[in-house]
Amino acid sequence: MSFTDKLIAMKVLKFNEGELSIFGIPGFIFMANTVGILNHNMEKRFGKDGIDLIYLLGKHQAYMGSSAFLGKYGYRKDLNSFNMVIKQSEMIGQGKSEILKFDQKNKILILKNLNSPVAKTIRGLYGIQKKPVCDFYRGATTGCFQAMFDEKNDFLGIETKCIAKGDPHCVIEVREITSWGKDNHLVKEQSPKESPENEEFSKFTLNNILKPS
């Protein structure tokens, strides 16, 4: 039985009156081309601010969704639970993932995405890119890993390889923000800027994710 079939059997993946929900969290499905075009043009029109927005949306959404999932079903914050969360991202089409390193003691995650649809779409539409493009997935991976720890921990995800750059696969590495070397050029490029606009993400709470107005 596939993971999707299991969710349907558990009655946590539901389709009702035109609404789709997973673990009580409402959502809908985008075409990969739509997300790829959005990602590319957010950077083209708004520069790094656009990329930061996509990354932070992914991070906060995944953190809150994973926290809701872990809390509601009483799962331990460990590798098995993280695997279940990653299976959900695969189910919605974000690509096949492989965990290269899951180190809770040192708070390090390295995750390989074998076939990122967004990266493949951007490469197909716009050619080989100069830098990684999986900003939403990078944020979502960061948020999922952060949910394995206490709220006081803040993490940063960095994409070190990307199919859109010509690499054979994408790789996301997540660490606590304070443990990244400041001289790392990828950290400089991919760290979101601190700004008053980030307060928008205070709207991502468990209550309004589970029960949107």
Q: Is residue 197 part of a domain?
A: no
Same domain, yes or no: 58 and 153: yes
Q: Is the pTM of this model over 0.75?
A: yes
Same domain, yes or no: 114 and 50: yes
Q: Is residue 50 part of a domain?
A: yes
Q: In whole angstroms, how far apart are CA 174 and each of 73, 177, 188, 191?
A: 25, 9, 15, 12
* Number of C-beta neighbours around residue 114 at 10 A: 12
Same domain, yes or no: 104 and 184: yes
> Taking the chain, what is the end-to-end CA distance rounded to the nearest angstrom?
35
pLDDT tens figures, 59-99 = 988 888 888 778 777 788 999 989 888 887 887 788 899 99
pLDDT tens figures, 137-162 = 999 999 999 999 877 778 999 999 99
Same domain, yes or no: 101 and 188: yes
Is the Cβ–Cβ distance between 142 and 59 less than 8 Å? yes
Average pLDDT over residues 121-141: 95
Long-range CB contact pairs, 30-34, < 8 A, 24+: 32/93, 32/117, 32/118, 32/120, 32/121, 33/121, 33/125
Domain count, the chain: 2
